[in-house]
């Protein structure tokens, strides 16, 4: 769908004002709908008044005949410059929007991490059927945590993600038995890689982890 230019700087520089009385174009005005000729490029519309077109052409029935080469070149140059400027502005706006989305997602992820840090810090110490987990991060740092074998592996995921040293997009791999632990919750799909699973997140016991185990934190975005 075409797009009109409402930006003052752009309008003044590239003909976005009525050449007859310097009134601004209104998107739904009779002038913008009927008296302008739209030139469309990739969904961007630049409008030229009939008077400007008639400087380089005359209408013959349903067609326009161009005979004044100099005026046609001037008109063409103005249109090309305007569309290029509009495209540049549009690309800049898209880039800024993507940057805002990226920052918003980053802030949201940091908020989740702080919440998980609080929950991890205040999680009660396990008292029965305890499993000790040694967690090794990609930076080489190792932490050890205790869980109950009846705990969901999501608790392990949250514990790992709460660490500042944890990559934003990560997976967890156990050493013995050697396998990927499918413990990422559904909300994490918006931020990182979540492996497909056919059922809910298992407990440590259901995953065959009922004694001390080593877990590696894999950075899914790291180049191999």
pLDDT at 25: 36
* 47: in domain: yes
CATH assignment at residue 210:
3.10.20.90
The answer to whether the bond into 177 is cis (omega within 30° of 0) is yes
| Domain match, 181 and 134 both | yes
Residue that finishes a domain, picked among 51, 78, 96 = 96
Model pLDDT for residues 118-134, shown as the tens digit of each residue? 999 999 999 889 999 99
* 184: in domain: yes
| Domain match, 153 and 87 both | no
| Domain match, 68 and 141 both | no
Residue that finishes a domain, picked among 47, 70, 96 = 96
| Domain match, 16 and 79 both | yes
| Domain match, 12 and 76 both | yes
Both tokens assigned to 122: 């205040």
| Residue 87 DSSP SS3 | helix
Model pLDDT for residues 3-60, shown as the tens digit of each residue? 444 444 433 444 443 333 434 434 444 333 444 455 444 566 777 777 777 777 888 8
Dihedral sign, CA of 164, 194, 205, 214?
negative
Give the domain range for residue 47.
Answer: 8-96
| Residue 69 DSSP SS3 | helix
* 101: in domain: no
Model pLDDT for residues 172-184, shown as the tens digit of each residue? 999 988 999 999 9
Q: How far apart are CA 73 and CA 145, in angstroms?
A: 74
* 138: in domain: yes
Q: How far apart are CA 224 and CA 221, in angstroms?
A: 9
Confidence class of residue 101 from pLDDT cuts 50, 70 and 90? confident
Confidence class of residue 150 from pLDDT cuts 50, 70 and 90? very high
| Domain match, 168 and 91 both | no
Phi, psi of 147 (to 5 degrees): -135, 165
Residue that finishes a domain, picked among 96, 112, 139 = 96
Taking CA atoms, 155 is separated from 183, 184, 208, in Å, by 8, 10, 16
* 191: in domain: yes
| Domain match, 136 and 187 both | yes
* 122: in domain: no
* 178: in domain: yes
pLDDT at 112: 94
Cα Rg of the chain (Å, integer): 31
* 115: in domain: no
| Residue 194 DSSP SS3 | coil
| Domain match, 57 and 134 both | no
Model pLDDT for residues 56-73, shown as the tens digit of each residue? 788 888 887 877 788 788
Both tokens assigned to 180: 């990927």
Furthest C-alpha separation in the chain: 93
| Domain match, 82 and 134 both | no
Q: How far apart are CA 153 and CA 203, in angstroms?
A: 5
| Domain match, 56 and 137 both | no
Domain count, the chain: 2
| Domain match, 158 and 213 both | yes
For 143, other C-beta atoms within 10 Å of its C-beta total: 13
| Domain match, 73 and 142 both | no
Which stretch of 83-92, 93-102, 178-187 has the lowest confidence by average pLDDT?
Answer: 83-92
Which stretch of 5-9, 79-83, 205-209 has the lowest confidence by average pLDDT?
Answer: 5-9
């Amino acid at each position: 769908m075409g797009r009109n230019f409402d930006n003052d700087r752009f309008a003044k520089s590239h003909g976005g004002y009525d050449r007859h009385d310097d009134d601004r174009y209104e998107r739904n005005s009779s002038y913008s709908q009927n008296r302008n000729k739209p030139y469309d490029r990739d969904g961007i519309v630049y409008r030229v008044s009939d008077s400007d077109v008639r400087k380089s052409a005359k209408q013959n029935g349903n067609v326009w005949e161009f005979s004044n080469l100099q005026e046609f070149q001037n008109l063409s140059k103005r249109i090309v410059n305007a569309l290029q400027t509009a495209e540049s502005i549009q690309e800049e706006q898209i880039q800024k929007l993507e940057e805002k989305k990226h920052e918003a997602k980053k802030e949201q992820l940091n908020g989740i991490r702080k919440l998980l840090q609080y929950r991890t810090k205040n999680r009660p110490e396990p008292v029965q059927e305890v499993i000790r987990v040694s967690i090794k991060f990609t930076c080489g740092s190792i932490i050890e945590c205790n869980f109950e074998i009846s705990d969901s592996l999501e608790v392990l995921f949250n514990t790992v993600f709460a660490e500042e040293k944890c990559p934003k997009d990560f997976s967890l791999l156990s050493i013995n038995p050697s396998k990927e632990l499918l413990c990422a919750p559904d909300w994490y799909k918006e931020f990182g890689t979540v492996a497909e699973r056919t059922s809910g997140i298992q407990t440590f016991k259901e995953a065959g982890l009922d004694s001390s185990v080593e877990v590696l934190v894999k950075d899914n975005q790291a180049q191999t």
